[in-house]
Amino acid sequence: MPVILNNIDGVTGVVKEPGKTFAKEKLKDTSVLVVGGGGREHAIVDALSRSPFVTKIYCAPGNAGIAAQAECVPISDHDIQALLDFAGDKGIDLTVVGPEVPLSMGIADAFAAAGRRIFGPSAAAARIECSKDWAKALMIKYGVPTASYRSFDDFDEAWAYVRERPFPQVLKYDGLAAGKGVTIPRTAEEAEADLRSMLLDDRFGKGKVVVEEFLTGPEFSFMCLVDGPKVFPLALAQDHKRAFEGDEGPNTGGMGAYSPLPFISAEEEEWALEHIMKPVAEGLVAEGAPFKGLLYGGLMKTPQGIKVIEFNCRFGDPETEVVLPRLESDFYLMLSAIADGTDMPEIRWSEDASLGFVLASKGYPGSYGKGFPIGGIDDAAGRVKVYHMGTRSTEQGIVTAGGRVLMTVGMAPSLKEARDKALAAAEGIVCGNLFFRKDIGHQVL
């Protein structure tokens, strides 16, 4: 009988009997279902697979890379009833939700009503991401620093307000818009066209527009595990939202990331925890929508201090792909502590830095082709972590199947070495239809 482990208390995560090991067979079988099929879910599966407590991982729907570490099941991440039935049939111990759409549709509420353990917030708490207008009102009410704003549902009123104010301004569609609902018009003409498309042509559906003051400064992502008023910070990361080098081109889901961040001090991080993340978690409790899951603060270090750009109700993508590889604690126990409302184990991080490049389909974030064969993945995966974001297995091998396709993540004692490793791996990927930004980390390297 192979003795693998591990000497960690299953509840507290604390080493119990120093010097002793436990057989994996002595632990009870634990199966986890991860919902989603991108790079974030690949990193979540990868982190869960390092937990000695997890004996089986399913992923719905998963992708070609995830299939090497989890059993992929062909259920859409939007199909809440099918996911609940699957979890019941397989006796899944914990379900972990990646994307925001099933959360906004109430997957956590449905699982809770059925008595199934789940990691992810209720639909009411997910409004922090799904309604920009609601999130702004919450921040103002609880004194959380953010850009000043006004909301409009009428085009004429919005246009009358916007045209009197200095440019640039920031326009945000109120609902979910797959990362495409924010524009930063620099002239009155651009602003009028954007307002028309959002309020008259209903480009994303009928909804309000939030008009925000334009802020400047470096952005960073502060992800915290949250259980009601309790907030547990994860390592900071920075995303790169624009498609092209030099932060040019359209906004994307994110073209690369790194962690930790040399430009945010421990004091600034503590300040953001105390003045932003905790007040918002407490505010959500006070509003009757306590948050249980991962609260993502998209923050900006402005000349007037740290302010909120946006909140998300889930792990960031691609931030998760650079943060979780640095985690030394047991991820399953951490998620369980939130799901069960029990004590959080100590959260420890590697001293190593991580940095990753996203390889995206040519044309992304606009329209792009799919089905292009990809070579060199195994070689890259032998040197760095390669997370699959949008891939599919075919008889001819692995092919592209999404806008963002792969992410190579290097880890090393310095950000520069991590960058060099990840860059070499990205350059070794062979595909006729991929591009990537080579300047990830340019603000600090």
| Residues near ligand GLY, by CB under 6 A | 239, 254, 312, 316-317, 319
In the region spanning residues 220 to 249, those forming contacts with ligand AMP, defined by CB under 6 A, are: 241
Q: Which CB, 31 or 251, lies closer to ligand AMP?
A: 251
**Residue 197: CB minimum distance to ligand GLY, A:** 22
Q: Which CB, 151 or 251, lies closer to ligand AMP?
A: 251
The answer to whether 251 and 180 are in contact (CB under 8 A) is yes
Residues 6 or more apart whose CB falls under 8 angstroms from that of 427 comprise none
CA–CA gap between residue 117 and residue 88 (Å, rounded): 11
CA–CA gap between residue 83 and residue 406 (Å, rounded): 26
Binding mask 403-442 toward ligand AMP (x if CB under 6 A, else -) reads ----------------------------------------
CA–CA gap between residue 186 and residue 247 (Å, rounded): 16
Q: Which CB, 84 or 359, lies closer to ligand GLY?
A: 359
Q: Which CB, 199 or 226, lies closer to ligand GLY?
A: 226
CA–CA gap between residue 54 and residue 41 (Å, rounded): 16
Question: Which tokens go with 170?
Answer: 């920031």
Q: In which region does residue 337 sit, left (phi positive, over 0), alpha (psi from -120 to 50) or beta (all else)?
A: alpha
CA–CA gap between residue 171 and residue 184 (Å, rounded): 6
| Residue 310 binds ligand AMP, judged by CB under 6 A | yes
Q: Which CB, 173 or 368, lies closer to ligand AMP?
A: 173
Helix (H) or strand (E) holding 271, with range, is helix 266-272
What is the residue type of 412? Answer: A
CA distances from 22 to 4, 6, 19, 156 (A): 7, 6, 10, 68
Q: In which region does residue 282 sit, left (phi positive, over 0), alpha (psi from -120 to 50) or beta (all else)?
A: alpha
**Residue 369: CB minimum distance to ligand GLY, A:** 24
| Residue 194 binds ligand AMP, judged by CB under 6 A | no
384 binds, options ligand AMP, ligand GLY, none, Cβ within 5 to 8 A by partner type: none
| Residue 133 binds ligand AMP, judged by CB under 6 A | no
219 binds, options ligand GLY, ligand AMP, none, Cβ within 5 to 8 A by partner type: ligand AMP
CA–CA gap between residue 243 and residue 435 (Å, rounded): 10
Q: Which stretch binds ligand AMP (CB under 6 A): 86-94, 155-163, 210-218, 367-375?
A: 210-218
Q: Which CB, 254 or 403, lies closer to ligand GLY?
A: 254
182 binds, options ligand AMP, ligand GLY, none, Cβ within 5 to 8 A by partner type: ligand AMP
CA distances from 252 to 174, 375, 408, 427 (A): 18, 25, 18, 21
401 binds, options ligand AMP, ligand GLY, none, Cβ within 5 to 8 A by partner type: none
Q: Which stretch binds ligand AMP (CB under 6 A): 208-216, 255-263, 392-400, 423-431?
A: 208-216
Please identify which residue in 79, 219, 245, 287 interacts with ligand AMP, judged by CB under 6 A: 219
In the region spanning residues 141 to 160, those forming contacts with ligand AMP, defined by CB under 6 A, are: 147
Map tokens 């002595």 to a residue.
26
| Residue 171 binds ligand AMP, judged by CB under 6 A | no
Please identify which residue in 27, 82, 112, 170 interacts with ligand AMP, judged by CB under 6 A: 170
